Amino acid sequence: MSRYKEIKSTLIWLMVANIVVTVAKAIVGYLTGSLGMVADAFHSLTDSTNNIIGLIAIGMAGRPPDEDHPYGHAKYETMATIAVSALLLFAAYNIVKGAIDRFQHPSSPEVTVLSFAVMFVTIAINIAVATYEYRAGKRLNSDFLIADSLHTRSDIFVSLSVIVTLAFVRFGFPIVDPVISLFIGAFIAKAGFDIIKRSSSALTDKAVLDPDGICQVVLAIPGVEGCHSIRTRGTVDLVYVDLHVEVDPAMPTAQAHDLATRVEERVIERVPGVADVVVHIEPFGKDSST
- Cα 178 to Cα 100: distance, rounded to the nearest angstrom: 7
115, 137, 118: which is closest to 126 by C-alpha? 118
Verify that 197 and 215 share a domain, yes or no.
no
Verify that 65 and 193 share a domain, yes or no.
yes
The answer to whether residue 135 sits within a structural domain is yes
The answer to whether residue 189 sits within a structural domain is yes
The answer to whether residue 161 sits within a structural domain is yes
Task: Give the pLDDT means over successive 10-residue stretches in the chain (290 positions).
Answer: 78 84 80 70 74 82 78 78 78 78 68 73 82 86 77 72 75 75 81 79 79 92 92 83 92 92 92 88 68
- Report the number of secondary-structure helices (H) and strands (E) in the chain: 8, 3
Decide which of 201, 227, 254 is a domain's last residue: 201
> E strand or H helix at 232, and its extent?
strand 226-235
47, 34, 256: which is closest to 165 by C-alpha? 34
Beginning with the edge strand found earlier in the chain, give each strand of the sheet holding 274-283 in spatial order: 226-235, 238-247, 274-283
Nearest-10 crossing angle of helices 143-170, 75-104: 10
Q: Is 278 helix (H, G, I), strand (E, B) or coil?
A: strand
Question: Cα–Cα distances in Å, from 110 out to 28, 43, 155, 167, 249?
Answer: 10, 21, 22, 11, 82
- Cα 15 to Cα 55: distance, rounded to the nearest angstrom: 10
Verify that 16 and 71 share a domain, yes or no.
yes
Contacts of 190 (CB under 8 A, 6+ apart): none
Chain-centre distance of CA 34, in angstroms?
Answer: 31
Nearest-10 crossing angle of helices 113-140, 3-32: 170
Question: Cα–Cα distances in Å, from 256 out to 165, 222, 247?
Answer: 69, 12, 8
Verify that 172 and 49 share a domain, yes or no.
yes
Verify that 62 and 165 share a domain, yes or no.
yes
Residue 220: which domain range?
A: 211-283
Q: What is the pLDDT of residue 125?
A: 81
Q: What is the CATH number of the domain that holds 89?
A: 1.20.1510.10
What's the number of domains the chain is made of? Answer: 2
Q: What is the CATH number of the domain that holds 267?
A: 3.30.70.1350
The per-residue b/e assignment along 115-139, b for 16 or more CB within 10 angstroms, e otherwise, is bbebbeebbebbeebbebbbebbee
pTM > 0.85: no
- Cα 178 to Cα 162: distance, rounded to the nearest angstrom: 10
Verify that 191 and 223 share a domain, yes or no.
no
Q: What is the pLDDT of residue 290?
A: 40
Contacts of 115 (CB under 8 A, 6+ apart): 28, 32, 34, 37, 166
- Between CA 63 and CA 70, with CA 64 as vertex, the angle to 5 degrees is 120
The answer to whether residue 145 sits within a structural domain is yes
Verify that 67 and 188 share a domain, yes or no.
yes
The answer to whether residue 30 sits within a structural domain is yes
Question: Cα–Cα distances in Å, from 154 out to 233, 282, 289?
Answer: 29, 50, 47
The answer to whether residue 289 sits within a structural domain is no
Verify that 128 and 234 share a domain, yes or no.
no
Question: Cα–Cα distances in Å, from 112 out to 119, 170, 177, 200?
Answer: 11, 9, 15, 44
> E strand or H helix at 229, and its extent?
strand 226-235
Decide which of 201, 222, 244 is a domain's last residue: 201
Decide which of 172, 201, 230 is a domain's last residue: 201
Contacts of 126 (CB under 8 A, 6+ apart): 21, 152, 153, 155, 156, 159
